[in-house]
Structure 1
Amino acid sequence: MGIVLYKDGKIEKNKRYKEIKSGDAVLYLTDVYEDMFTKRSSNINFSRDIEIKDKNKIVINMPYVDELNKKRVEAVLEDGLVSLYFKEKGFIEFIEEKISRNKEIDYKTVFLSLFQFLMLSYDQKLIKLEDDVEIRFEDAVAKDSIQLESLLKDKKKIYMIKRCTNYYKSILVYLEDEFNDIKLYDKLFFSFQDTLNLAENVESSIYSCIDIYNSIYSNRMNKTMELLTFITVMLLPASILSGIFGMNFKFMPLLDHPQGFYITVAVMMSAVAFGIIYFFTNRKRR
């Protein structure tokens, strides 16, 4: 079951492909597989994703990005009708709006409008990502903390959007002979480039956040190493003295002295105290 759109803007819902009778139909949109679809996954491969059976029939199978999931859209262009397997219901409202401005619309324009719709959808995702990254950037500077996992997920989303966008460009270049007479054809390449530029900007912001994360992590490691070094240095005199007096020599200083143990402990504590005072005095100067 799907939605049928006619040139004059009329819409019929809950229709099957076989029930389409009028030659004025330009779009059949469904989210359920029917016989005319290939039912195979997109491979980012022209030899499998684009099939030109003759000048009147083209089958196109391509991916699109929904969050971190790669979904697929399949189009069959035949006899002035675009049969579209696409799960984004907002597309029909998008086409309705175009018809309200242009009065009439043919099946080739409908198909090219699919790419325009995907670019607008990607732009919205990228703008939202940009806002989220900006908030994380401010939090990283103010709170000295950042969520690396969410940044990496956002980076993956951008990579997938860029990959799909470049693939759409390649598809339209490949099908230039079929669509270059449509006004929207050339405009789409500007849309592709705008989306790619926006993706690059957001990706650059993510890299800045990752740099801040690395800086925060390095500072934390430096503080940890500083603490460990301080503890090691403070205990070093005691370790040296205990090591010396742990030697099995018969004659050693203070070995038979009645206050030898206390003198040794006092020397150890004095060395530790001197180290602590020296450390904090120089730290304040810095």
Structure 2
Amino acid sequence: MIRTMGLTTNEEWLFDFTLEELSTLSLQWYWVDLDRPSLEEESLLHSFFQFHPLAIEDCLQRLQRPKMDYYDGYAFFVLHSLCQDDLEAEELNLFLGEDFVVTFHYNKLQELPEVRDKIVQQTKRWDRGSVFLAYLIMDKVVDFYFPILYQIEDHLNDVEEQLSPSTVELSMDYVFEVRSDLLRLRRTIYPMRELLYRVLNSDRLGLTLHEQRYFQDIYDHLLRLGEIIESNRELTADIRDSQLSINSNRMNSIMMTLTIISSIFIPLTFIAGVYGMNFDHMPELHWHYGYFIVLFVMLLIGVSMLLWFKYKGWLRI
């Protein structure tokens, strides 16, 4: 699908014109969006726009790392959008010329319709042209990163507040899943930050100081996103350490209980073992109240050991 829009020299918007009409229209700048293109529409990159073969190859072979390349008369950008559902990166290719922007992508992207609506709804003049349009597209792509990270951050805060021995196993599974998601986000956001750094420090793009301020704003957003990722990774590490501490304390409590039970039964087992031997000459075996005396001694030993463990602070009751 091909979507087109442009601004005429008379400050009028034109929409959905054909590529063949470009040569006859008096446009200040135009935007051609190749949305989930067919094979015939893919061929337009070479046959109509005559872009460099290496740039076309990067468009057709996904998924490239975010980058910027220079060619005669235009710059080529590889951007990464994020799918809200599975956090998979989706490639958006952008060609920026003096009076045109061409975008190419295989997946449906929510950012581009919002950019198109924003352009139409703006009442101010759009004589800043294609550079400002490229800024809007990049800015909208980056803006869509924030809800994803904020949602992860809110969930992590909820997990930390509700952390308890009864929820520790579920929390551990969730934390490792979140750390995996943060790693995927990091692989997208950090290269995008490097890309914007190159844009800001590029002489070949010829950005004015006014235009650089807009791209600096995107770069600042990416710096903020990087900080959120690192803080969330630290938060997952803290939750993981807390979970390990809870597990360790629970295990220590279980081992202490079992040890105390074993310690109490050791002397009782010894007494029972002694009087369980089959010797004929054991005087206690013939006492009339011997059985009750032995039971009393065993009870006395057990209670005394419990009181002693309690006194030493080893028994938490």
TM-score by length of 1: 0.76
Deviations 1:14-51, CA, capped at 9 Å, x for gaps: x8x8677456422415144651463323253x7xx655
Matching of residue 65 in structure 1 with residue 82 in structure 2 = yes
1:179 aligns with 2:209: no
Mapped to 2, the partners of 1:98 and 1:198 lie a distance apart of: 30
Q: 1:111 to 1:254 in 2, by over 3 A?
A: farther
Counterpart of 1:192 (choices 216, 219, 222) is 222
Q: Which residue pairs with 1:6 in the alignment? A: 6
- 1:3 and 1:11 in contact (8 A); partners too: no
Partner AA of 2:112 in structure 1: F
Indicate how the Cα distance of structure 1 residues 275 and 180 shifts in structure 2: closer, same or farther if over 3 A, else same: farther
- Please give the alpha-carbon distance, in whole angstroms, between the structure 2 residues aligned to 1:69 and 1:124: 12
- Structure 1: where are the runs of 5+ without partners? none
In the alignment of these two chains, the number of paired residues is 279
Which of 262, 274, 282 is the equivalent residue of 2:304? 274
Deviates more, 1:107-116 or 1:230-239: 107-116
Given candidates 121, 130, 145, the residue that maps to 2:144 is 121
The 5 A counterparts of 1:167-246 are 167-174=191-198, 176-179=202-205, 181=207, 182-183=211-212, 184-245=214-275
Q: Which residue of 2 aligns with 1:112?
A: 135
Give the superposed CA RMSD.
3.7
How far off is 1:75 after superposition?
0.9
Structure 1 residue 126, shift from structure 2 partner: 2.0
Q: In 2 relative to 1, CA 76–117 (structure 1 residues): closer, same or farther, beyond 3 Å?
A: closer
Aligned to 1:82: 102
Query: Contact 2:79–2:94 (CA<8 Å) still a contact in 1?
Result: no
- Whole-angstrom distance in 2 between the partners of 1:124 and 1:200: 16
User: Within 2, Cα distance between the matches of 1:128 and 1:30?
Assistant: 29
Change over 3 Å in CA distance of 1:187–1:178 after alignment to 2: farther
